Chain A
């Protein structure tokens, strides 16, 4: 006979403000099997937990129900308390009367009635709970970082500093990411390359770090502590073991028509190329789409000029499989496509550019050698207009709902640098709000206004009209002075919204990590677990989780690394015992469960089954408990009712439903 205790939490006024908690406790006492019930102000506090522990011992409870917040919040807390009292932690059930009841209802009577029903369902379930024991699994002492920008590099360096092996997989031919494209960085104006390239070198020379550049993650299987990852090392067509990085092949390559990705398509590069001079590794790749040799069979100039005999046209993609204990996503961002914002004439004029393109123009290693000039006619612009929030903070389907966070600061930086280098150039910034929450950020922006006389106009631009004279007529509004502003500009710079890297969704799917509507990876808890994915063993670093600047990215990288180190330091991990299992007498071997399992945990065996004294050879489903995450998809899909989930058995679920409908 079960002896159940029910504990009803007030959560301050969070629950008690809407629900009559005393009544819930009173009603609980009348439930079959319940021998003790009590309400208390904060059940998760030390006193609350002691109350639970004492009751378990005194009343010899065989199971408990805590009516409180979501199990995501405190299930572990109460399971641990039960364990301390000598009760199996899986004999604990949570009735969520906060998120799913008090927070969403206004009427006290209705909310109380619903809370009582939720309590009843939990009591009905816990009566059928069975003690479960968590299994254990080992931990592979190696981490994978996906993405080789500043987020990935810093995460890898910090993991390596603790003595663990770590691999970086980077899609492009070089590590460095977005930061390597920037000219200067706010708010200190240090040169981006000067602070990034030493870190790139450090990562490349660190004996714990392996770089897989020009490589992509193809497949991920396994689970926390035991991931197995297939990595495709794309064919560089250049042998890294022989190449000296002299650069002659790039100079001599006759095909120079491919738009340079690194320079945002503002100029062209050769078919054999390194993205930029400080690339790491300094080994070029052949872009086969644009290579004359690959397209027509005739050419081979690079091979002829290469003193090191490093060119290898026969090279093929190589697949490797590596095991990891933890995976960090650091896939970064791109700027949005501006096709839908053609009121700013981005597609009509070469002199309407994005801020990232301006970074390349301002950069000494960029397409204009760092000289500020119009891309249409090479002339120096005398009147420049910056437009902020292009595609950010949009409620329509054209743009993004969020604030891209970095634009206010980089716009102030670019405006200031232009006024500093070209004092005869007039600079105007159209803004909706100026957002500068960061150390020394507002002071930085005020310097642009007060010391560099950048004209900030509160209001947006409605239209940019390119004229045949080359002028760009900017029509905007100054909402403070309520006037129409018309500026004949020479150059217009758009602070385009940023969005997660195009591959973020694909990678999140491979990792079974959750992702939001904007394709940002979701953190396990918005406040308390910001660098962990809800999927165990997956961590987040940098803009893949949400817009952030370089100092915040570096801080997040360190934080993600600390979590990885914490995981890799363990020799054994406790696994979740709430896994699926198949009743081989009922299984008909139909493969339905195998198809729906997102973790690849189900396989089939042909074995002799003793069916009521008759021995038969049958094909039956077998669950690998180490891979099963207990999602329950198979139990729902199984047509013969053979699949069941420990801790969430079909009997328990039906008992809950019966209790709700009573």
Chain B
């Protein structure tokens, strides 16, 4: 449990998110493009961190369903920025398990006119679970 608290503190630090600022309005989740795919919704990431339930978050499908579009970050009226929290939890999983992004070689083969550049950039960060 103590290591859990330490990890949560690291997540808060690297994301810059203070979950206590959240007033639970649900605007982040309302803005989420991947809403149907998320098993734990963006607003819940904030409350899970607030009460220290990191395990559920680290096992969550949502880490890989989040598009990283940051609509939730843009629209949050309290500047809580839940998207950054999702990113930080994912980073924590990656740090414990090792890198999971595509290699430069793999990405090179994907480059076509149709594939958007943003997808190629994010492929460096995540691919497999």
Contact = CB atoms under 8 A, between A and B. Distances in A.
A289 interface: no
Given A455-B51, A480-B43, A450 B21 contact: yes
A458 B20 contact: no
A449 B43 contact: no
Given A450-B18, A480-B44, A481-B44, A458 B51 contact: no
A108 interface: no
Contact of B47 (A446, A453, A481): A481
A422 to B, nearest CB: 19
B48 A450 contact: no
Contacts of B43: 480
A450 B46 CA distance: 13
A478 B24 CA distance: 12
B24 A458 contact: yes
A456 B22 CA distance: 11
B115 interface: no
A117 B24 CA distance: 55
B23 interface: yes
Contact of A453 (B20, B23, B44): B20
Nearest to B50: A455
A453 B18 CA distance: 11
Interface in A458-511: 458, 478, 480-481
A480 B43 CA distance: 8
A480 B47 contact: yes
Contacts of A480: 24, 43-44, 47
Interface string B1-32: 00000000000000000101101100000000
B103 to A, nearest CB: 38
> What is the interface of chain A mostly: helix, strand, loop, or mixed?
mixed
Contacts of A481: 44, 47-48
Contacts of B47: 478, 480-481
A458 B20 CA distance: 14
Contacts of A455: 50-51
Nearest to A482: B44
Given A480-B43, A481-B44, A481-B47, A446 B23 contact: yes
Contacts of B20: 449-450, 453
Contacts of B21: 450
A446 B24 CA distance: 12
B27 to A, nearest CB: 13
A480 B44 CA distance: 7
B19 to A, nearest CB: 10
Contacts of A458: 24
A480 B46 CA distance: 11
Nearest to B26: A480
B29 to A, nearest CB: 10
Nearest to B78: A446
A276 B98 CA distance: 69
A408 to B, nearest CB: 13
Contacts of B44: 480-481
B87 to A, nearest CB: 20
Contacts of A478: 47
A456 B18 CA distance: 15
A350 to B, nearest CB: 29
Interface in B37-81: 43-44, 47-48, 50-51
Contacts of A456: 24
Residue from B21, B48, B51 with most neighbouring chain A CB atoms (10 Å): B51
A567 to B, nearest CB: 46
Interface string A620-656: 0000000000000000000000000000000000000
A419 to B, nearest CB: 12
A285 B23 CA distance: 50
A658 to B, nearest CB: 62
Contacts of B50: 455
Interface string A66-94: 00000000000000000000000000000
A399 B50 CA distance: 33
Contacts of A446: 23
B76 to A, nearest CB: 15
A456 B23 CA distance: 9
Residue from A455, A456, A480, A481 with most neighbouring chain B CB atoms (10 Å): A481
A478 B43 CA distance: 13
Nearest to A452: B20
A456 B46 CA distance: 13
Nearest to B18: A450
A449 B22 CA distance: 9
A449 B21 CA distance: 8
Contacts of A449: 20, 23
A453 B51 CA distance: 11
A449 B47 CA distance: 13
A450 B17 CA distance: 12
A456 B47 CA distance: 10
Interface in A408-465: 446, 449-450, 453, 455-456, 458
A468 B47 CA distance: 33
A413 B20 CA distance: 17
A222 to B, nearest CB: 54
Contacts of B24: 456, 458, 480
A56 to B, nearest CB: 59
Interface in A35-77: none
A429 to B, nearest CB: 13
Nearest to B40: A481
A462 to B, nearest CB: 19
Contacts of A453: 20
Nearest to B29: A480
Contacts of B48: 481
B39 to A, nearest CB: 12
A312 B35 CA distance: 78
A540 to B, nearest CB: 35
Nearest to B21: A450
A481 B43 CA distance: 9
Contacts of B23: 446, 449
B43 to A, nearest CB: 7
Contacts of B51: 455
A426 to B, nearest CB: 11
A455 B47 CA distance: 10
19 contacts: A446-B23, A449-B20, A449-B23, A450-B18, A450-B20, A450-B21, A453-B20, A455-B50, A455-B51, A456-B24, A458-B24, A478-B47, A480-B24, A480-B43, A480-B44, A480-B47, A481-B44, A481-B47, A481-B48
**Closest 9 pairs between A and B when the two form their complex, measured CB to CB:** A450-B20, A481-B47, A481-B44, A480-B24, A449-B20, A450-B21, A458-B24, A480-B47, A453-B20
Interface of B: 18, 20-21, 23-24, 43-44, 47-48, 50-51
Interface of A: 446, 449-450, 453, 455-456, 458, 478, 480-481
Given A446-B23, A449-B23, A450-B18, 13 more contacts: A449-B20, A450-B20, A450-B21, A453-B20, A455-B50, A455-B51, A478-B47, A480-B24, A480-B43, A480-B44, A480-B47, A481-B44, A481-B48
